[in-house]
Structure 1
Amino acid sequence: MFWKFDLHTTSHIDTLLEKEDVTLTEVMDEEDVLQECKAQNHKLVDFLVRPQCMEDLVTYITQEPSDDVEEKIKYKYPNISCELLTSDVGQINDRLGEDESLLMKLYGFLQNESPLNPLLASFFSKVLSILIGRKPEQIVEFLRKREDFVDLMIKHIGTSAIMDLLLRMLTCIEPQQLRQDVLNWLNEEKVIQRLVDMVQPSQDEDRHSNASQSLCEIIRLSRDQMFQVQGCSEPDPLLATLEKQETVEQLLSNIFDKEKNDSAIVSVIQILLTLFETRRPAFEGHLEICPPGMNHPSFSVNQSILEAVRPRLKDFHQLLLEPPKKNIMKTTWGVLDPPVGNTRLNVVRLVASLLQTNTLIINMELINLNTLGVILDMYFKYIWNNFLHIQVEICTAMILAMPPAQSETPEINRDQDQEPVRESHLIKHLFQKCQFIQRILDAWSSNEKEQAEGGRRRGYMGHLTRIANSIVHNSDKGPNSAQIQQLISELSEDDKERWEAFTSGQLADTNKKNTVDLVNTHHIHSSSDDEGEFKDSGFHQDSSLQQAFSDYQMQQMTSNFIEQFGFNDEEFADQDDVANIALFEACCKEKIHQFEDAGSDEEDIWDEKDVTFAPEAQRRPRSSGSTDSEESTDSEEEDVKRDPFEPNNGSSDDRMEVDTTEGDPKDPLRSNSPVAMETCIETGDPLGVTASMHAEAQPPSSPGGKAGGRSDAEETVTTETVTNGSMKETVSLTVDAKTETAVFKRVLKSYRYVQPIGGQTSAVYCFHVSH
C-alpha cells in the first residue's frame, strides 16, 4: 500500500547532502541511511564512495573505539559502517575490492594481537566475506600475496568470526577452477596440519572447539562438493590430507600422549565421528543405509582411518574406566560420583560409529577389551542419563541387525539339510560374555520391585523396552535370527523360562500399553466437533449464557472461514470476486449444518426462506419504540427466556425484532428478515443480485420528503434497535434513493438474506462486516 500509492516522503538525506561541509557522521546519524543506501540513492552512494569516506568506513570497523566514548553509542558507527559496506551496492564493492590501500587497511585488523575484539572481528569477517563472493579473483590474488595470511588465520582461530571467514573461502568462491586453486593453496600452506596442532591440551577451549569445528566442516563441505560435482577430476586435497593415517594418528597422539584434557578429547572425537559419517542407525533393530548417491567413494570409511584408530581403542576403553577427573555432582535424586561426563559419553558415541563400520579387526578388538560390557555397566549404573541410554540402544540395535563382518568365517549348522550361516562374534559376545538377556531380566525385575515399594520408575526402562523388542524382532527375522535363537536356546532352563515368560507377559503388556488407540481413549475433535460438544453440553436456559454461546459460535465460524480461505472484512466487501461469494456460501452452509437438529420435527430456523416485505397489517406489534436501555417490554422479556437455538414453533415469527425511534411508523421496510447489507450487492453484479434487490427494496416515504435523514434526494437515515435474545444493538439504517439500497451502518452478529435469482433461491451469510 505504501509503495503502490507513492506515499513515501523525500528523504532528508538528499537535503543534507546538498551542504558543502556535510560529514560522514552526520549522514550516518540519519535514521534511513541504510535504507537509502540499499535503495542505491545516487547522491548517497556517490558520497560514500569518496576516498575519504571509504577510508573512514574501513577505519570504523578495524580500530577499537575510544574508551571515553559512551558505552551505548560506542559501536554505533562501526555497526553502521559494516552495514553500509555490506549493503551489496556495486559501486561500493568495486571501490573497496579494487583499491589495494583500502584492502591493506582492512587486512591490518588480522595483524592485531590476540584476542581480537569479537564484535569488530564479526564486522571484518562480514565485509571480507562479501568481497570474496563478489570479487573472488581480486580478493584471492590479494590474500595469496600476503605470506602471513594463513598464520594469522590459525593464530586467531579461537575467534569464531575468523573461523567463519576460513570456511567462507571454501564455500563462497563460485568458479570451480578458482576454488580448486584455493584448496591447493591452503593445502600447500598446511592449513589442516596447523588446525590439528590447535587441538591439544596446551591450547584453550575456544581453539579446541573452533579448530575441531573447522575440520569437521571441511570434511562435510568437501564431501558434499565431490558428490555434487561428479565430473570433478581433481580430488579435494584438504579432505585427502585429513583422511591420511598420519593425520589421524597425530590427532590421537595429541590427546593420549599428553595430559588428559576433556575439551581436547571431545574435540578429537567430534572429528573422528565426522570422518565416520556414512549411514545412520535406526531404532527397532533396523539399520538405515545412506540415501541413494551417497555411496560415493568419498563417503565410505577410509581404511587408513580405521588403521590409525585400532591401536588406540585400548586408550578409549581406559577413558571409560578412568575419565578425566570430574567434580561430584549433586542431583535431585542423589549424588553422582563421578558423573558420566562429556568424555565418556562421546567415547560411547565413537564406539557406536565404529560398530557401524562393521569391520572385523575393530569388532575383535572391542570384544577382547570387553568394551561392550563396560558400556552396559554404565547403562545400568546411570539410570537417569538418557543421552547415554540412547547410544547404548543404538549399539545393541546395530549388533543385532547387522550381518556378520565379511571376514568372519562361516560355521556349519548341526542340521545337515541347512545351509551354512556366518555367525557374528559380537552377538555371541553380547549374549554369552555380557549376559545380555540375564541383565535385562534382572533390571526389569528390580525396577518392578522398586515401583511396588513406592519407588520411581527407572529412567532407562523405555530404552530397555525397545532393546528387548529388538531382540525379539531380530530373533524372528533378519540376518542373525538363527544365531540369536540358538543363543537363547543355550541359556539355562531357569533363564530361558524367565525370558519366555517375560516376552509373553510383561513385555507384551508394556507394548500393549504403549500402543493404545489414542483416538478411542481421548476424544480428539476439530473445531467443528468442539462446537457440537458445546451444543449438547446442557446449557442453562439463561439468556446471557445462550447469547455468549451464540456469539462464541459465530466468532468460531467466522474465524475458521477466514483461516481457511484467508479473507478479511475488506475482501468480503469486494463483490467483483464472484468466487469469494461461492466459497463463503459453501463454507457457511457447512457450518450452519452443524446446528441442525436432525431428530426434530419442528420448523428449522435455518431453512431458506424468501424475503417478503410484510404489509403494515402483518407487522408484529411493538409495545414500545423507545431505545432507552432501561426500559423493557413484555415481548423483550419473552425473547430473553427463549433459547435462540430452539426451532421456532408455528406461532413464532421467522425474523428478528426491529424497533424504530425515528421515521414513519408505517415504514414499508419493516419485514420478516433483515434488509440486505450494501456489501452484499453491487451494480453490475453478474449474479443478478442488484436487480432482484432493486425489485424488492423500495426507499421509505415520509411526510415532507424527510424521515430523520439528510436529504430526500440522496438518502434516508433511520435509527434501529435490534433485539436478539437478551442483547439489543442500536444501528443506523440508511436508504440510498439513487441506488435504492438499504444499508445497515452497524453490523449485526450474524444474519442472512435470501432472494430469488432466476426463479431459484440464493442465500448469502454475512458475519462481522463493518461499515
Structure 2
Amino acid sequence: MFWHVPGLSAASPVDTILDKENFKLEDLLDEDEIIQECKALNTRLINFLRDKVQVELLLRYIVEETPDDAEKKRIFRFPFIACEIFICEVDVILKTLVEDEDLMNLLFSFLKPDHPHGTLLAGYFGKVVICLMMRKTLPLMNYVKSHPEIVSQLVDLIGITSIMEVLIRLIGADETMYSSYADSMQWLDDIQVLEMIVDKFSSSDSAEVHANAAEILCAVTRYAPPALATKISSPSFVGRLFHHAFEDSRPKSVLVHSLSVCISLLDPKRLVSASYQAFRSQLSHGTLVTASPETVNGMLDSLGDLLKLLDVSSAENILPTTYGSLQPPLGKHRLKIVEFISVLLSIGSEVAEMRLIDLGAIKHVINLFFEYPFNNFLHHHVENIIVSCLESKQDHLIAHVLDECELVTRILEAEKNSALSIDLTKRTLSSEGRTPPRVGFVGHITRIANKLIQLANSNSTIQSHLQQNSGWTEWHASILTKRNAVENVYQWACGRPTSMQDRGRDSDDEDFRDRDYDVAALASNLSQAFKYGIYPSEDVDEAQASQERDDEDVYFDDEAAEVVINSLRLGDDPDSGSLFTNSNWFAFDEDKA
C-alpha cells in the first residue's frame, strides 16, 4: 500500500515526459507506466493520445510490418503498447478512430491481399477490432456495411485464428454482439457470408483454414442470428458441405471438419464447454439451431458415400505401435464418421435409424470396435451407438443389434479370447516375441453388458434374447457379477466419488459444478485416522473424545473436509503412518456388497 503525503508525492514518469518540449510518441511508448496512466485516465496523456496524428501513429505500429533490421522495441514493444492503449477502452481515443474515415481505412488496410499478414500483428489487429465491436458497435458496423469487401477479405484470411475470432463476432455468432444489434445482421445473409466460408473447404488445402472455417460454422449453429440459422440448417447448405468433402483429391481434413459442422447441427451443445453453456443459459436472446427432418434427410443422402470410407480392407499402410502394429490405422476421418453415426442415432430419427440398418452401418462400426482393441475414442463412440440402439423404442433396431450384429456373441467371444491376436489377417497385431497384451475394450463391454441386464428388466425382447443364450447366463454368473463387485467403487471404504453415481451417461450443463469426493466417507476415514493414531496430532486426545459422539452429531461440510484433506501428509514419510496408507483405507465393505 502506498500512502499519499501532500508535498512529498513523486511526479509520474509519464508526466515528466509530457513536461518536455520536444517529446515524441515513442518516448511515451517506451515508458513502463503508460498503460497504468491510460487506465487511470491521466488527463494530459489522454488529450495527447486522442489527437488524430497520434492515433494514426499508433495504428501504423499495429498494421505495418517493420524491417528485419529494426530495433527490437520497434518490432515487439511498440506494437504491443499501441494495441494495449486502444484496448484500455478510453472513449475519446476510440471515438477519434471510428469517426475518421481515413483512420478506419488505415486500420482495415491490414486485410488487403498485398499486405503482409504476420500472426503477431494479426493478433493486435484482432484485439483492436473486437474492442471497437464491443464499445463502438454501431459506427463500426456501419463502416463495415459500407465496405462489404472487408468481409470477403476476412474470409480469405480465415486460416489466422485472430482473424477467425473477428469474423465470428462480426457475423453475430457471439452473445455480446448479437444481443443489441440482431436486426442489423440481415445484411450478412444478403452478401452470402456462409457460402464464402464453406467454400474455403474447396479453395484451400490448409488444415488450419478447414479447422477455422468449421469453428465459425459450428459457432453459428450454437449461437446464430435468425437469418443465418435458417440458412445453415437448410438441406442445400448441408449438401454443399458434403459436396466439398467428397471432391476428388481433397485432404482428409475437409471431411473431418465438414462432419464437425454436421455434428454441431445435429447436437449444438455437444462441442460447447460446460462453462459456456452455463453462461448461455442466462441469456434470453439468440437462436440455438436444431436439426429439422429436412436437415437430417440432407445428411442421409450422403450417408452411403461416408460408409464406403469406413472400409479399411483396401488400405495398405502399416503403423508400428508399442504393442505391435496397426494395418491399417483407423485414421481420424473414419473416427469422425463413427462419431457422426453416433450423434445421428441419438436424435431419435426413425428415418435415420432405418437407413443405418439398411446400409449395415451399425454392424460395420461394431466390427471396427473389435478390430481396433486399443482405440478408446472409437470404443466410446461405438458404445454410445449400441446404447442408443438398445434404449430405442423401435423393436426392429434392438433386434438388429442383438440378432444381425450378434452383439452378445461378440461380447462372449471377446471375453474368451481377451489377449491381442497374432493372426496376420487381423487389423491389430501383437509384437513378435512378446506376450500379447490384453485387449483394451474390456471396460466398455462390461458397461454394455450391464446396460443389457438393466434394460432386460423392462424390455422383453432383450430379456428373451439373454435367457436363450446359455453362454451369457454362465458368463454373467461366473465373471460379470464378480467383476461388478470388485469394480463397484461405491462399496469401497476409501471415500471414492459418489456424487456421480446417479449421473447419466451424457452429463448436461451443470456437471462441472459436481463435487468429486464422497465427503461423508472421507469424514469417516478422518475420524478413524485420529482414533487409531494414523495421523499424529497434538490434540489427539480431544479427537478421540469427539469420536465417541454419535455419528449424527458429527458434521463435515464440503469446504471443511477439503481443508482438512489438503492438510494431510500423503505418505511422504513411511514412518509417519499417513492416512492414505492406512490398510483399512481400501478395505472392501463386505456387508454392503
Say whether the fold is shared (TM-score over 0.5): yes
| Stretches of structure 1 lacking an aligned partner (at least 5 in a row) | 226-235, 282-290, 405-423, 538-548, 555-589, 600-771
1:221 and 2:202 aligned: no
SS of structure 2 residue aligned to 1:457 = coil
Shift of 1:346: 0.5
Whether the 8 Å CA contact 1:86–1:130 is kept in 2: the answer is yes
1:473 aligns with 2:451: no
| Distance in 2 between residues matched to 1:458 and 1:476, nearest whole Å | 30
Match of 2:183 in 1: 180
1:676-699 residue CA offsets vs partner (Å, 9 max, x unmatched): xxxxxxxxxxxxxxxxxxxxxxxx
1:483 aligns with 2:464: no
1:172–1:464 CA distance, 2 compared to 1 (3 A): closer
Per the alignment, residue 447 of structure 1 pairs with 418
In structure 1, distance between residues paired with 2:348 and 2:534: 62
Q: Which residue of structure 1 lines up, in the alignment, with residue 478 of structure 2?
A: 505
Relative to its length, the structure with more helix (as a share) is 2
Contact 1:173 1:179 in 2 (8 A): no
Q: Distance in 1 between matches of 2:315 and 2:26?
A: 55
Q: In structure 2, what is the Cα distance between the partners aligned to 1:280 and 1:366?
A: 21
Offset, 1:528? 6.2
Corresponding residue for 2:488?
Answer: 515
Question: Does residue 1:386 correspond to 2:376, yes or no?
Answer: yes
Structure 1 segments (4+ residues) deviating >4 Å: 3-9, 70-73, 172-177, 278-281, 291-294, 296-299, 322-327, 520-531, 533-537, 595-599
What is the CA distance between 1:280 and its match in structure 2?
7.2
Q: Which AA in structure 1 matches 2:462? A: I
Conserved 8 A contact 2:66-2:74: no
**Do the aligned residues in 2 keep the contact of 1:219 with 1:275 (CA within 8 Å)?**
yes
Residue 465 of structure 1 aligns with an amino acid whose one-letter code is T
Change in CA separation of 1:462 and 1:158 when aligned onto 2, cut-off 3 Å: same
Instruction: Write out aligned runs for 1:427-438 (5 A).
Output: 427-438=398-409
1:375 has 2:346 as partner: no
Q: Which residue, 319, 333, 338 being the options, matches 1:348?
A: 338
Q: Which amino acid aligns with 1:194?
A: M
Which residue matches 1:191?
A: 193
Please name the residue that 1:679 is paired with. none
Aligned to 2:128: 127
1:3 positional shift? 6.4
CA distance change for structure 1 residues 115 and 302 in 2, over 3 Å: closer, same or farther? farther
Question: Alpha carbons of 1:256 and 1:505: their partners in 2 closer, same or farther (altered >3 Å)?
Answer: same
| Bigger RCO of structures 1 and 2 (CA < 8 A, at least 6 apart) | 2
Question: 2:344 touches 2:352 (CA, 8 Å); kept in 1?
Answer: yes
8 Å CA contact retained: 1:133, 1:173 = yes
Name which of 335, 352, 356 aligns with 1:366: 356
Match of 1:162 in 2: 163
Partner of 1:623: none
* 1:247 aligned partner: 237
Give the superposition deviation at 1:513.
0.7
Q: Is contact 1:65-1:75 (8 Å) kept?
A: no
Partner of 2:147: 146
User: Does the CA contact (< 8 Å) of 1:201 and 1:259 recur in 2?
Assistant: no
The structure whose Rg is larger is 1
Partner Cα distance (2:333, 2:70) in 1: 45
Compute the displacement of 1:72 (Å): 6.9
Cα offset for 1:239?
1.1
| 2:480 alignment partner AA | L
Q: CA 1:177–1:10 in structure 2 vs 1: closer, same or farther (change >3 Å)?
A: closer
Query: TM-score, normalised on structure 2?
Result: 0.77
Asked if the contact 1:474/1:484 (under 8 Å) is kept, the reply is: yes
8 Å CA contact 1:278, 1:301 repeated in 2? no
What corresponds to 1:612 in structure 2? none
Equivalent residues of 1:201, 1:264 under 8 A apart:
no
Deviation at 1:487, TM superposition (A): 3.4
Following the alignment from structure 1 to structure 2, what is the Cα–Cα distance between the partners of residues 209 and 323? 29
Q: Deviation at 1:91? A: 1.5
Equivalent-residue separation in structure 1 for 2:258 and 2:301 (angstroms) = 16
Distance 1:200 1:263 in 2: 11
The one-letter code matched in structure 1 to 2:335 is L
Q: Which runs of 5+ in 2 are unaligned?
A: 272-280, 422-433, 497-520, 549-593
Q: Secondary structure at the match of 1:84?
A: helix
Secondary structure class of the residue paired with 1:74: helix
Which secondary structure state, in structure 2, belongs to the residue aligned with residue 335 of structure 1?
strand
- Hey, what's the Cα distance between the residues in 1 that align with 2:68 and 2:222? 42
Structure 1 letter corresponding to 2:293: Q
- 1:47 and 2:62 aligned: no
Give 1:556-635 correspondences, 5 Å limit: 593-594=542-543
The one-letter code sitting in structure 2 at the alignment partner of 1:197 is: D
Q: Pick the structure with more strand per residue.
A: 1
Cα distance change, pair 200–519 in 1 and its aligned pair in 2 (3 A): same
Q: 1:505 corresponds to which letter in structure 2?
A: S
Structure 1 residues 357, 209: CA separation in 2 closer, same or farther (over 3 Å shift)? same
Q: For 2:108 and 2:114, how far apart are their aligned partners in 1? A: 13
User: C-alpha displacement at 1:256, in angstroms?
Assistant: 1.4
Change beyond 3 A, Cα 1:434–1:527: closer
Amino acid at match of 1:307: N
1:261–1:324 contact (8 Å) kept in structure 2: no
**Aligned AA (1:2):** F
Residues 371-390 of structure 1 show CA distances to partners (whole Å, capped at 9, x for unaligned) of 11111111111111110001
- The answer to whether the 8 A contact 1:212-1:267 is kept is yes
Provide the residue aligned with 1:357 in structure 2: 347
Return closer, same or farther for 1:133/1:278 CA change in 2, 3 Å cut-off.
closer
Paired residue for 1:464?
A: 445
Distance 1:380 1:340 in 2: 12
Range 515-524 or range 356-365, more displaced: 515-524
The aligned residue for residue 692 of structure 1 is none
For 1:68 and 1:467, how far apart are their aligned partners in 2?
Answer: 64
Q: C-alpha separation between the residues in 2 aligned to 1:431 and 1:352?
A: 17
Alpha-carbon displacement from aligned partner over 1:7-44 (angstroms, at most 9, x marks no partner): 97432111110111011111111111111111111111
Give me the whole-angstrom Cα distance separating, in 1, the residues matched to 2:446 and 2:351: 31
Identity of aligned residues (%): 28
1:353-400 residue CA offsets vs partner (Å, 9 max, x unmatched): 111122222222211221111111111111111100010110111111
Q: Does the aligned pair in 2 maintain the 1:323–1:344 contact within 8 Å?
A: no
Question: Which amino acid in the other structure matches residue 446 of structure 1?
Answer: N
Q: Spell out, residue by residue over 1:516-565, the C-alpha distance to the aligned partner (whole angstroms, 9 max, x if none).
A: 5321699967896597378479xxxxxxxxxxx8xxx46xxxxxxxxxxx
Q: In structure 1, what is the equivalent of residue 558 of structure 2?
A: none
Cα displacement string for residues 619-662 of structure 1 (whole angstroms, at most 9, x for unaligned residues):
xxxxxxxxxxxxxxxxxxxxxxxxxxxxxxxxxxxxxxxxxxxx
The alpha carbon displacement at 1:323 in A equals 9.5
The one-character-per-residue Cα deviations of 1:604-627 (angstroms, maximum 9, x if unpaired) are xxxxxxxxxxxxxxxxxxxxxxxx
Shift of 1:148: 1.2
